[in-house]
Amino acid sequence: MKFVTKIFAIFCMFSLAHAQDVQDDFQRFSLVPVLGYTEETKLQYGAMFLLFLRPNEGGDKVHEIGLTMFRTTRDQIQVNIEPIFYLFHDKISVWTILRYQDWFASYFGAGNNPDIDIFTNYDRELFYLESTWESSIGMPRGIKYGVVFHFEDSQIDFNENQSGLELPDTHSGWRNGIGYTISYDSRYNINWTKHGFLAQWKQQFYSDKLGDYTFDVESIDLRGYTKLLWGATFAQGLLWQRTNGDVPFDMLAGPDGVKRFRGVESRYFNGNQAIISQSEIRKYFAYRVGAHLFFESGKAGDYFSDLWRNKWHKSLGAGALLGLNLSEGLFARADFSWVDFDHLGISFNVRQAF
């Protein structure tokens, strides 16, 4: 039950302030303080600030600039800047994530069968920039194409290994790559989708000509949404991932712990391939408050035959939703997961998991 003592202690989030234009009720910003505690990081505190920019014409999507900062009493820090812009009447979208992180994480070994009580911690200093440009110009309705730029400098240092695990190469240095996306997207609102479908193919190529390592990453992302009774929404997602080449251990196929298979360390189980299934029911109640129930399963393997034979990890969970911008359907969420029906996990993020 490591995650009970490690994670489940204190967690709270609440909307501190928001401002609106008195003439048309356009919300300008939202601020969410966050407080948490884990056995490893001790007290965590921070805040998330979202700035909303009015579009040039009515009916266009609202631009956003998000700033998230976390710090711990052990002098660890993480800063995220996430601007989202829509151009040419929403025909072009630009999503960018800029992250600095001086943090530490846990490594549970390679493969699909980690032991929650056997792990080695490592320190990581990370600079990360990823920008995705998608467009529907010249395409039939719902079809999009895009390009992805990824630049990352990661410095990893494993702590003293008393776990008996075989430690991987740290792959410290630059991981730089370029990729593309092709998708069909009929969702009318990506923040709170009540109906629609997404099917996306994504492929990214990393090269030692651009950075220090050569490898590639592919994924197929399928998501469907439909309305239920009493204003609830059912969402179903399926993600397949594949990696190939000299892949850093923290970029192998597997869960990220926040959006895909929530409540575990990133790449808690891992391999060259992974598949993750997610089912969720969401409901908004009133006064900026909502909730959701979810069931997730996933597994990893080095080859498709391994992936087929390996056991499924399962997670049952529930979460709270806090409205940050109701007109845009934007919610922050806190998720509590019962992972493999054995230990508890917790995660926090803006927007829905999928």
How many whole angstroms separate alpha carbon 215 and alpha carbon 245?
A: 4
pLDDT digits (tens, 9 = 90+) for 183-239: 999 998 888 899 999 999 999 999 999 999 999 999 999 999 999 999 999 999 999
Is pLDDT larger for residue 32 or for residue 16?
32
Is pLDDT larger for residue 253 or for residue 57?
253
Domain coordinates in residue numbering, the chain: 2-350
Asked whether residue 85 carries a pLDDT value surpassing 70, the answer given is yes
How many whole angstroms separate alpha carbon 265 and alpha carbon 129?
A: 21
pTM exceeds 0.85? yes
* Position 1 confidence tier, pLDDT thresholds 50, 70, 90: very low
| The predicted structure's pLDDT at residue 23 | 53
Domain 2-350 grouped into CATH 2.40.160.50: yes
pLDDT, averaged across the chain? 89
- Which residues 6+ apart lie within 8 Å of 74 measured at CB? 41, 42
Q: Kindly state the tokens that stand for 329.
A: 């359907």
pLDDT digits (tens, 9 = 90+) for 16-25: 545 554 456 7
| The predicted structure's pLDDT at residue 232 | 95
Q: Kindly state the tokens that stand for 105.
A: 């994480």
- Burial (CB count <10 Å: 0-12, 13-18, 19+), residue 166: exposed
User: Averaged over 103-124, what is the pLDDT?
Assistant: 92
Q: How many CB atoms neighbour CB 155 within 10 A?
A: 13
| The predicted structure's pLDDT at residue 10 | 40
- Burial (CB count <10 Å: 0-12, 13-18, 19+), residue 76: middle
